[in-house]
């Protein structure tokens, strides 16, 4: 690209018109033009057909589409989707995921509910996607994504920039060595007038048309701007983040609440003027509610460690319920005992 300087180019032309630099320059121009036309055609085709290129940044679709693949998709209506299609959707977090359809159902409104799973994933995606239309992959090429990625990186952009600068210099100053032709009437040209050897027929013919180089240059620059603008506006390779997922189930946890059982009341020690009643402890009980007095109308809550009650100088009916955690969780009522512990008499318990 050292031949950017028109004076050097002109000097080379003077001394050895067919030297290596010129051949390289011509080759670069021709190859670049061919590739450029191909790229523009591909661009136009993709714009017309709604084709979208994608780079795969991870390998959850391997081996069908490995990491670094370049794939092409086009927009497909929900009705045309089938299990097994590889589609590209936007997740709730805004990233693009390209996975295979494992389940699809289309409602009356033409909205498809998709369950997707990467071929290399053990489970389907957690998110269920609802789409009216979706990008379906129809072609993929392994490794080409790396090329695209490299070209978008610093080194690639630098090389492309150099190439673009070279092309622009050809566009702007491409006719610089035409100033070597003898002066003729017409608007002044840039660059110092020089004399030189006879030029090729092509250039002579081009040079034979005087005037309007400035206007032609403007038109050319306009065209270049349009090309770059169109390319910049519409060409995109959305990176397809074919998400890996890896589920780990943790099973074996069982929780059960207590099934409350009623305590059993038994008569305890009978003494003069007092009666003791006991009840069987209930597992998991956090306390007991005692019913005693006439008709069992009096209630008292006691702690879980208490399993007996002594009555002195009273009569009544005794029963008990176990409390579990809260006083709203009570066991069924136990059996009842009639007790009598009047003063001076031996207590009774039936």
Partner 1 sequence: MTDPAAPRRERLRSPRLRALLGLGLVAVLGTTGTYAAWTDNAVVSGTSISSGTIDLRVDNQDSVPAYTTLNLATMVPGNSTAGQLTIKNNGTAPLKYTATTTAGNADGKGLGAALVVKVSSGTVQGISPAATCSGSALAGTESTLGGNLVTTGRLLQPGATETLCIQLTLPLAAATSLQGATTNVTLTFTGSSDIS
Name every residue whose Cβ is closer than 8 Å to that of residue 243 and which is 6 or more positions away in sequence.
58, 60, 91, 95, 97, 99, 118, 125
Asked if 145 is part of the footprint of partner 1 (rule: CB under 8 A), the reply reads: yes
Q: Which of 21, 148, 270, 306 binds partner 1 (CB under 8 A)?
A: 148
Asked if 71 is part of the footprint of partner 1 (rule: CB under 8 A), the reply reads: no
Task: Please say whether the beta carbons of 234 and 44 come within 8 A.
Answer: no
CB of 229 to partner 1, least distance (A): 8
d(CA 212, CA 220): 12
CB of 231 to partner 1, least distance (A): 3
Task: Give CA torsion, residues 298, 302, 308, 309, to 10 deg.
Answer: -40
Residues 13-42: x where in contact with partner 1 by CB under 8 A, - otherwise, as a string? ---------------xxx-xxxxxx-xx-x
d(CA 235, CA 44): 10
Task: Give CA torsion, residues 268, 272, 274, 276, to 10 deg.
Answer: -10
Asked if 336 is part of the footprint of partner 1 (rule: CB under 8 A), the reply reads: no
For partner 1, give the closer residue by CB, 11 or 106: 11
CB of 188 to partner 1, least distance (A): 19
- Identify which of 157, 151, 167, 152 has the alpha carbon closest to the alpha carbon of residue 223: 167
Q: Which of 11, 59, 296, 333 binds partner 1 (CB under 8 A)?
A: 59
Q: Identify any residues that bridge with 288 across adjacent strands, giving them in sequence order.
A: 302, 322
For partner 1, give the closer residue by CB, 157 or 345: 157
Residues 206-245: x where in contact with partner 1 by CB under 8 A, - otherwise, as a string? x-xx--x---x---x--xx--xx-xxx--xxxxx-x-xxx
Residues 84-123: x where in contact with partner 1 by CB under 8 A, - otherwise, as a string? -------x-xxxxx-------------------------x
Task: Give CA torsion, residues 152, 153, 156, 157, to 10 deg.
Answer: 70
Among residue numbers 242 through 281, which ones bind partner 1 (CB under 8 A)?
243-260
CB of 81 to partner 1, least distance (A): 22
d(CA 11, CA 16): 8
Asked if 170 is part of the footprint of partner 1 (rule: CB under 8 A), the reply reads: yes
Name every residue whose Cβ is closer than 8 Å to that of residue 28 and which is 6 or more positions away in sequence.
163, 166
Among residue numbers 293 through 322, which ones bind partner 1 (CB under 8 A)?
none
For partner 1, give the closer residue by CB, 11 or 147: 147
């Amino acid at each position: 690209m050292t031949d950017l300087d028109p004076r050097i180019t002109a000097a080379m032309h003077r001394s050895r018109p067919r030297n290596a630099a010129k051949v390289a320059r011509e080759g670069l121009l021709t190859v670049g033009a061919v590739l450029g036309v191909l790229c523009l055609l591909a661009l136009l085709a993709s714009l017309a057909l709604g084709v979208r290129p994608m780079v795969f940044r991870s390998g959850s679709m391997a081996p069908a589409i490995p990491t670094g693949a370049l794939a092409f998709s086009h927009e497909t209506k929900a009705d045309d989707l089938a299990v097994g299609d590889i589609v590209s959707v936007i997740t709730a977090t805004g990233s693009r995921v390209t996975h295979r359809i494992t389940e699809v159902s289309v409602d009356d409104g033409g909205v498809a509910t998709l369950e997707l799973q990467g071929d290399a994933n053990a489970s389907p995606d957690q998110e269920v996607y609802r789409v009216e239309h979706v990008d379906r992959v129809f072609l993929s090429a392994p490794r080409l994504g790396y090329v695209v990625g490299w070209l978008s990186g610093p080194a690639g952009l630098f090389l492309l920039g150099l190439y673009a600068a070279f092309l622009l210099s050809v566009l702007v100053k491409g006719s610089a060595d035409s100033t070597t032709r003898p002066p003729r009437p017409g608007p002044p040209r840039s660059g110092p007038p020089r004399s030189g050897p006879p030029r090729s027929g092509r250039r002579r013919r081009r040079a034979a048309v005087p005037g309007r180089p400035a206007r032609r240059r403007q038109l050319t620059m306009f065209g270049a701007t349009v090309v770059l603008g169109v390319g910049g506006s519409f060409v995109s390779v959305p990176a397809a983040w074919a998400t890996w997922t890896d589920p780990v189930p943790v099973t074996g946890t069982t929780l059960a609440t207590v099934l409350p059982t009623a305590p059993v009341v038994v008569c305890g020690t009978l003494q003069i003027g007092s009666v003791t009643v006991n009840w069987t402890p209930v597992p998991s009980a956090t306390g007991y509610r005692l019913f005693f007095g006439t008709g069992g109308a009096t209630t008292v809550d006691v702690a879980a460690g208490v399993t007996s009650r002594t009555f002195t100088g009273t009569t009544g009916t005794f029963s008990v319920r176990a409390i579990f955690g809260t006083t709203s969780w009570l066991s069924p009522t136990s059996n009842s005992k009639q007790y009598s512990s009047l003063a001076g008499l031996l207590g009774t318990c039936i």
